[in-house]
Structure 1
Amino acid sequence: MGSLIKKSKERSLLIGLLWLLCLVVLIFRLFWLQTFNHDELLAQAKEEWIKSEKIKPKRGSIYDRTKGQPLAWEVDAYYFVADTSKVKDVKGTANALSPILGIDRDVLIRKLSVKDSSVELRDKGKYKYPENVYRQVVALREKGKIHGIYAFSTTMRQYTRSTAAHLLGFVNVDGKAVGGVEQVYDKLLRGEAGYVKYLKAKNGMMISDTPDQNQPPQQGKDLVLTIDSQIQSQVELELEEAITNYQAKGGTAIVADPHTGEILAMASRPTFDSNSYASTLNDENRTNRAIESQFEPGSTFKIVTLAAAIEEGIFNANKTFQSGAINIAGQIIRDWNGTGWGEISFREGVKQSSNVAFVLLGKALGPKKLADYIDRFGFGKITERFGKKTGIDLPAEARGVFFGRDLYPAELAATSFGQGVSVTPIQQVAAISAVANGGKWIKPHVLKEVWEPQLKRKVKVVKPESKRIIQESTAKKARELLREVVRSGTGTKADLAGYRVAGKTGTAQKPDPAGNGYLKGKHMVSFIGFAPYDHPDLVVYVAIDEPFVEGGEASGGTVAAPVAKSILEKALPIRKVERNQYADGVK
């Protein structure tokens, strides 16, 4: 009996010692954690306790030069999520939502058929919706026609309908800026996100009354463009009408202030709707022809040759030559009408857009001089493979295509009247602006000012680059000769009573992509000019791609010039340029 008691005491003592040992280890562990591991564990705990939320900034608005109704702005919007575990009738719900959300019924059925999941109701660009769509969905839910569909608030970009789509660009459903001003100035427009950090409970709710840390977002800046909405609207209408009337493949029109380089209007056809880009944007209409298209300019390029010849003192308006045809290194170059006008003066040669006249001027200049002036006028070095961008603040600007070497005599001749080289519309606008403004090449641009949100304070004014490339006297003489082109030459259909338009027509054959010369009957017709000729306020450029004229052949004078006239007729009064009762400003 005694031995049993002894063994029991020993067992109790052993158990007690073991418990004591465990207690000592536990105390030591607590001591270790509270002293040596304190900072590390506290940091880990804070990660569990503290919730951080990103605060999205509001994207800045884009205004025209008048700062009236914005061209692009943020509006309240909604996106929809389905809790598929609560959707009672998949097909019925899809049928009800499809016409409202603009998402194909089969796509909705696939999404709603995912078991016990939370699914966003989106398809390509269909994701964010305005308030009227939200109300329709809520009404269906309240009537018990759909179940398990929930709306969440967000914002979406809104644009002035059918206005300057290529110039503005758009913001896609993922918040990425695509094309135009939206892309180039995305950093300014989007602002900087803020954040809030706070102690949270198990359910994620904030424990304290105020956040632990709070960094408000920096809202995006507002942009004021050089665009004039009234002029832009008129340009869009005139270009659209011309494309329709002439069954053309496409076209572009640009209106600019030659003294500042400001683009007042820029339109391209075919176009798309920035508000519905997912359903309207495609490979046919995504190109901004004003800055991305490259084509042989034809006779509008003769302005460079003319200005160069005047500047170099080799242009004699009264000197005569035999028009019709000329032999250059065994190659016969003819005037556009095939026969010429007999022996005429160079003044008349400019008025009638004689190829022979400009071949002779190009030959007198020589390849190095002509190449120098082409470069001066912003096109780049013709002896290189590609030209030079103007640097306009829009994405995807093309550079033009040149010979990539010294010119052969026939190439010099062709270049002098705008054949064999490819340039862009915006390059031509910048070039003729130098003639219009008295001899300075000015970098074209579409941003005028940067403002704090809601136009509270102006923070930046754009000052474009400029450089003198020809003398004022040269520009003045060129303007007078270009006035003659419109008054009684190939550009008469661009003339506008009281405004004394000056300019140049262009009718360029389109090269065969297969390399077999030029396509028969396929032309890019254009007109570039300014008004009034003696103190220009506006430069206008119009190009129509492959127009069709019933029973005749399209030309810059018959197709593009009338469009330019219509644009100037609307734009000049908007600019408050008064008509002059004297036809050519002479009493």
Structure 2
Amino acid sequence: MGSMFKESKKRSLLIGLVWILCLSVIIGRLFWLQTFDHNELLADAEKKWIYDDKLRPKRGTIYDRTREQPLAWEVDAYIFLADPKQVKNPHKTASVLAPILKISESSLYKLLTSSKKSVELKADGHYKYPEPVYDKVMALRKQGQLEGIYAFPTTMRQYNGNEAAHVLGYVNYDDVAVGGVEQYYDRLLRGKEGYIKYLKARNGMMITDKPSKDTPPEPGKDLVLTIDSRIQQQVELELDEAVRNYQAKGGTAIVADPKTGEILAMASRPTFDPNRYAETINDDNRRNRAIESQFEPGSTFKIVTLAAAIEEGVFHPDALYQSGSIRVGDQVIRDWNETGWGRITYRQGIEESSNVAFVRLGQMLGNKLVDYIARFGFGNITDSFGKRTGIDLPAEARGVYYGRNLYPAELATTAFGQGISVTPIQQVAAVSAIANGGILMKPHVLKEEWDSGLSKKVKEYKPEGHRIIKPETAKQVRDLLRDVVAHGTGVEAEIPGYQVAGKTGTAQIPDPEGKGYLKGKYMVSFIGFAPYDHPNLVVYVAIDQPTTPTGSGSGGTVAAPVARNIMKAALQIRHVQPDQSFAESIK
């Protein structure tokens, strides 16, 4: 009995010693943690509980030149998220949300059954939604139909429908700027992200009253463009009507200030709505034809040949030549009417847009014509590609040339705008130099850069240009181009009260299979300026493959009237007063 008691006492003592040892170890460990390992553990805990969040900056607003008409701006919007674990019936939820969010049921179902803790409901080009959509979703959520669906406030880009769509570009649902000013000046418009750091509870709520560190976002810059919204709207209307009436494949129009290189309006057809880019944009309408299209300019290019001939002293307006046709090597080049007008003066040849007249001028110039083409900003046509104007828009094309020295027949056809491809903006820049007294200006669309809210002007664009021909040469070209509108192929561009100068163009379209030209298919154009003696603006219009009751039409019958309507409205908007004596004389 005594031995059993002794054994029990030993066992109790052993257990007590073990407990004392364990307690000592725990106390020692706690002491170690609270003294030596305190900083390391605290840092580890903060990693788990401190929450970093990016603060998205407000994207800058884009205005027209008046600073009163916004072209692209931010509006309140919402994004929707889902907690897949809380979504009880993903099939039904997807079915209800699909028509509201314009996301397919299959895409929504895939998101709603994700293994992630939360997923953003973005797919099929849709992500951010205006307040009416938010109201619909929240109303259904209150009814218990959309459990696990949450909304968070943000902002989204807004545009005036398709107005200046190709100039502006758009911001997609990943907040990536695509095309136009949005892409070219994204660095300025985007601003700088801010950051917020705070302690959070397990449910994500902030623990402390104030963030431990807060770096506010820096809003993007506001940009004022050279675009005049009133002129832009007129261009859009006229271009729409022309493409529709002539059942054309497309078209483009540009209005520019020749003195500064400012683009007052620019439009292309077909077009898209940047507010609904996912639904409206496609491979056919995404290109800005004004700067990306490359095609044979036709007779509008004759202006360069004419200016070169005058500058070099080989143009004599009253000298006579035989129109109709001319042989160059083994090739016969004919006037556009096949038979010509008999023996006429070069002045008459300019008015009638005689190919033969310009071939002869090209022959008088020889390789100097190549130099003048480069001088007018097109680049060296003995290279494979031309020279960009440097306009501040993405994806500008360069023009396509020969890539070698020209044969006599090639130099001859180049003199009247055939055999090479240039862009509309290259032609606008070149003709603006004629209107501007011989100074080639760099075209541009940015006028001013401002701090957010137009609070302070940061920078103003300074026009860039250099002289390429003498002022008297430019004046003589303007006088001759005035005759083209007054008496020649450009009469449909005439405006009572304003003396318009310009040149028509009807260019054949090369066969994409490389077999000559497409039969009966033309790119028709007109480029001109007014008033001719002190030009206020330059207007370019090109219509791709129009159809008329009598055939394909020409630059004089199709493009010139469109340019006339645009020019008349633009001159009035810019408060250019008409010459009443001239208006009376042409009635």
TM-score computed with the length of structure 1 as normaliser: 0.93
Q: Counterpart of 1:563?
A: 562
Q: Counterpart of 2:401?
A: 402
Q: Counterpart of 1:427?
A: 426
For 1:493, give the aligned amino acid: E
For 1:568, give the aligned amino acid: M
Q: Counterpart of 2:125?
A: 125
The offset of 1:272, in angstroms, is: 0.5
> Which stretch shows the higher mean deviation, 463-472 or 105-114?
105-114
CA distance in 2 between partners of 1:108 and 1:62 (Å):
34
Q: Counterpart of 1:306 in 2: which secondary structure?
A: helix
Q: Counterpart of 1:566 in 2: which secondary structure?
A: helix
For 2:485, give the aligned amino acid: V
CA distance in 2 between partners of 1:573 and 1:62 (Å):
25
Q: Counterpart of 1:536?
A: 535
CA distance in 2 between partners of 1:423 and 1:2 (Å):
118
Matches within 5 A, 1:217-236: 217-236=217-236
Matches within 5 A, 1:53-72: 53-72=53-72
Q: Deviations over 1:135-183 (max 9, x none)?
A: 2223333445554433222211110112011110100111110110000
Matches within 5 A, 1:165-564: 165-367=165-367, 369-564=368-563
Identity across matched positions, percent: 67
CA distance in 1 between partners of 2:138 and 2:31 (Å):
59
The offset of 1:455, in angstroms, is: 0.7
Q: Deviations over 1:452-487 (max 9, x none)?
A: 111111101011321111111111111000000111
> Which stretch shows the higher mean deviation, 38-47 or 463-472?
38-47
The offset of 1:197, in angstroms, is: 1.5
Q: Counterpart of 1:65 in 2: which secondary structure?
A: coil
Q: Counterpart of 1:135 in 2: which secondary structure?
A: helix
Q: 1:4 to 1:91 in 2, by over 3 A?
A: closer
CA distance in 2 between partners of 1:111 and 1:42 (Å):
37
For 1:194, give the aligned amino acid: G
Q: Deviations over 1:218-267 (max 9, x none)?
A: 01111100000000000000001000000000010000000111100000
CA contact (8 A) 2:296 2:418 kept: yes
For 2:385, give the aligned amino acid: F
Q: 1:137 to 1:3 in 2, by over 3 A?
A: closer
The offset of 1:305, in angstroms, is: 0.6
CA distance in 1 between partners of 2:9 and 2:160 (Å):
94
CA distance in 2 between partners of 1:150 and 1:38 (Å):
39
CA distance in 1 between partners of 2:337 and 2:265 (Å):
34
CA distance in 1 between partners of 2:380 and 2:30 (Å):
79
Unaligned runs of 5+ in 1: none
Q: Deviations over 1:298-354 (max 9, x none)?
A: 010111111111111111111111111111112111111101111111111111111
For 1:482, give the aligned amino acid: L
The offset of 1:549, in angstroms, is: 1.2
CA contact (8 A) 2:378 2:388 kept: yes
CA distance in 2 between partners of 1:3 and 1:114 (Å):
69
TM-score computed with the length of structure 2 as normaliser: 0.93
> Which stretch shows the higher mean deviation, 81-90 or 183-192?
81-90
CA distance in 2 between partners of 1:353 and 1:447 (Å):
36
Query: What is the RMSD of the two structures over their aligned residues, measured on CA atoms?
Result: 2.7
Q: Counterpart of 2:366 in 1: which secondary structure?
A: helix
CA distance in 1 between partners of 2:47 and 2:364 (Å):
79
> Which stretch shows the higher mean deviation, 403-412 or 12-21?
12-21
For 1:509, give the aligned amino acid: Q
Count of residue correspondences = 586
> Which stretch shows the higher mean deviation, 72-81 or 408-417?
72-81
Q: 1:136 to 1:199 in 2, by over 3 A?
A: closer
The offset of 1:24, in angstroms, is: 7.5
For 2:287, give the aligned amino acid: T
The offset of 1:552, in angstroms, is: 3.0
Q: Counterpart of 1:578 in 2: which secondary structure?
A: coil
> Which stretch shows the higher mean deviation, 334-343 or 139-148?
139-148
Q: Deviations over 1:203-232 (max 9, x none)?
A: 433333222111110011111000000000
For 1:406, give the aligned amino acid: N
Q: 1:10 to 1:89 in 2, by over 3 A?
A: closer
CA distance in 2 between partners of 1:415 and 1:449 (Å):
39
For 1:126, give the aligned amino acid: H
CA distance in 2 between partners of 1:177 and 1:337 (Å):
49
Q: Deviations over 1:367-406 (max 9, x none)?
A: 1x11111111111111111001111111110000011111
For 2:491, give the aligned amino acid: T
Q: Counterpart of 1:103?
A: 103
Q: 1:37 to 1:464 in 2, by over 3 A?
A: farther
